[in-house]
Amino acid sequence: MDRKLVKATFAGGCFWCMQPPFQQVKGVVEVVAGYAGGTKENPSYEEVSSGTTGHLESVQVTYDPEKVSYEKLLDVFWTQIDPTDPEGQFADKGSQYKTAIFYHDEEQKRIAEDSKKKLDGSGKFQKSVATEIRPFMNFYPAEEYHQNYARKKPREYQHYKTYSGREAFIGKVWGTAEKVRIYSTPGCHNCHEIKEFLTSKKEEFEEVDLATDEDARTMIIEKTGHLGAPIVQIGDEFIFGYDPKKMERLLHQ
């Protein structure tokens, strides 16, 4: 029997930064970057960026409700944004960068409203939560070069996430662990041990193939002056080879 998959749609500012967090969630099948909530059919990035189409940069998440709940997806969403900013997100201001939850049915609406109310009353923020909860109207996938930007252009993505202020805000407000990446090559020595170690610690990680990702190779050489596999990146720190003690220290500092 085929799985019954469900869609959820979120606007959290720059969609480059909203794809990876959802892609790491078990039970999520697909995350597409695109444009939602506006009046223009099949808008281009340039049209949406002008702020005249009514669309918000968004991600549409396809997930298996038997493996992950809508509540869990909302938790991921809230911890990736500044929900109190009514003008946009971090360095990006304008209507196209506002935050919103687009509900696909009444059950999603109820859960989203309860989640927002809970966050608003938590005392986490001094300002009120400005994120809108809106009925889903439409979603148009963004151009291919915007899809999976963090994987295609890891150096540019990390630069943007850092210097836009998003990364520092998330770390300060939520105290979330730094993102973990394993840079590997086919048949790399110790990669299996590293993945087993991180899994045993319940740490989510992204694996990048250095054999095919030229941008990742360039970024590592620029930051460390060396290149080899495996390499583990935790935040701004790089670990060459399998070093469980150093990984443990960086994961919990």
Active site residues: 14
Report the alpha-carbon distance of residue 37 to residue 56 in Å, rounded.
6
Query: Residue 252, exposed/middle/buried by CB under 10 A (0-12, 13-18, 19+)?
Result: exposed
Peptide bond just before 230 cis, omega within 30 deg: yes
Residue with token string 């949406």: 48
Strands, sheet with 231-234, edge to edge from the N-terminal-most edge strand: 205-209, 180-184, 231-234, 237-240
Residue reference for tokens 């918000």: 56
Please choose, from the candidates 136, 4, 23, the residue with its C-alpha nearest in 3D space to the C-alpha of residue 76.
23
Tell me the backbone φ, ψ of residue 36, rounded to 5 degrees: -135, 150
Q: CB under 8 Å to 153, separation ≥6 — which residues?
A: 215
